[in-house]
Amino acid sequence: MKKYLFIAISAILWANAVFAQNDTLHVYGPGGPLSAMLECAQAFHAKTGIPVKVTGGPEAKWLLPAQQNSDLIYGGAEYMLTQFMQTHPEIIDSGTLTELYKRRAAILVKPGNPKHIRALKDLARPGIHILDVNGAGQFGLWEDIAGKADLIGQIQQNIWCSFANTALGIDAWKKNSHFDAWITYASWHQNLKNLTEIIELSKSHKLYRGTPIAIATNSRQKAQAMQFVLFLKSEAGHSIFKKWGWE
């Protein structure tokens, strides 16, 4: 009788372990790193059997479900995740904060580059209409870059419109042909290849920001969540991020 009871208990424990191992990890964050995160999630699932659901975009889109079932939260820049932790200190275990990879800023222009923009100084020319995203990892981005060239005032005069997040900026870029340039991350060119050409900044004007990730305080799968973080930090994860414009 004891033998059968032992076998039954062992079977239940084994089944629970398998269920936990295959339970879905829920990952939330902004839209910038979303493409790289989605591909990493697929590769991680194929390697480990652990499914990963990544939800990305403006915070308002995913904050409520993240408060309920998040396992990991990532940011589009270090300051973004810091601000998130300050606003929602109960969601993230700050002790698990991990930096992944940096991404560089660049200038995106319309296909064919009709305004012949070749360098940062060209954005200060009269008649250039610049799109600005003042948030979503790009807060202050153009100013940090323009300040290196003493062009803050000139470029500010050419900012035609500012948007609160990248999704709104992309929508405006698609709909409004008057925008000539957008100072943003080079990685966005990978998602908008049919809508943009990329102008790299000179070495003296280059600027980078990070991509942090942290485990949620209430995650019920912290071991699996850390396993996913380790995959992101692996050579396989790095190669995916490089494909999408990170370094």
Is 15's pLDDT higher than 80?
no
- HEC string of 137-198 equals CCCCHHHHHHHHCCCHHHHHHCEEEEECCHHHHHHHHHHCCCCCEEEEECHHHHHCCCCCEE
What value does the mean pLDDT take over residues 134-145?
Answer: 91
pTM: 0.86
Mean pLDDT value across residues 198-226 = 97
Residue 143: pLDDT over 70: yes
pLDDT value of position 9: 39
pLDDT at 3 over 50: no
Q: Where are the domains of the chain?
A: 2-101+210-243, 103-208
Average pLDDT of the residues in 198-223: 97
pLDDT value at 21 more than 60:
no
% of the chain with per-residue pLDDT over 70: 91
What tokens were used for 12?
């239940």
Q: Report which of 103, 97, 50 is spatially closest to residue 74, judged by C-alpha positions.
A: 97
H or E stretch at 35:
helix 34-48
**Which pLDDT band holds residue 220 (cuts at 50, 70, 90)?**
very high
Q: What integer is the mean pLDDT of 108-135?
A: 97
Of the options 3.10.129.10, 3.40.190.10, 3.40.50.1000, 3.40.50.300, the CATH number for the domain spanning 2-101+210-243: 3.40.190.10
pLDDT at position 121 over 70: yes
CA-CA distance, 189 to 106, in Å (whole number)? 9
Of 247, 213, 210, whose CA–CA distance to 231 is shortest?
A: 213
Strand-strand pairing, 181-185 and 197-200:
unpaired
For the chain, what percent of residues have pLDDT higher than 90? 89
pLDDT category of residue 137 using cuts at 50, 70 and 90: confident
Identify the CA nearest to 214 among candidates 91, 101, 43. 91
- Tens-digit pLDDT profile for residues 149-194: 999 999 999 999 999 999 999 999 999 999 999 999 999 999 999 9
How much is the average pLDDT of 217-228?
A: 97
- Average pLDDT of the chain? 91
What mean pLDDT is predicted for residues 51-67?
Answer: 96
Whether residue 5 has pLDDT greater than 90? no
CA 90 to chain centre: 21
> Which pLDDT band holds residue 48 (cuts at 50, 70, 90)?
very high
Protein fold of 103-208: D-Maltodextrin-Binding Protein; domain 2 (3.40.190)
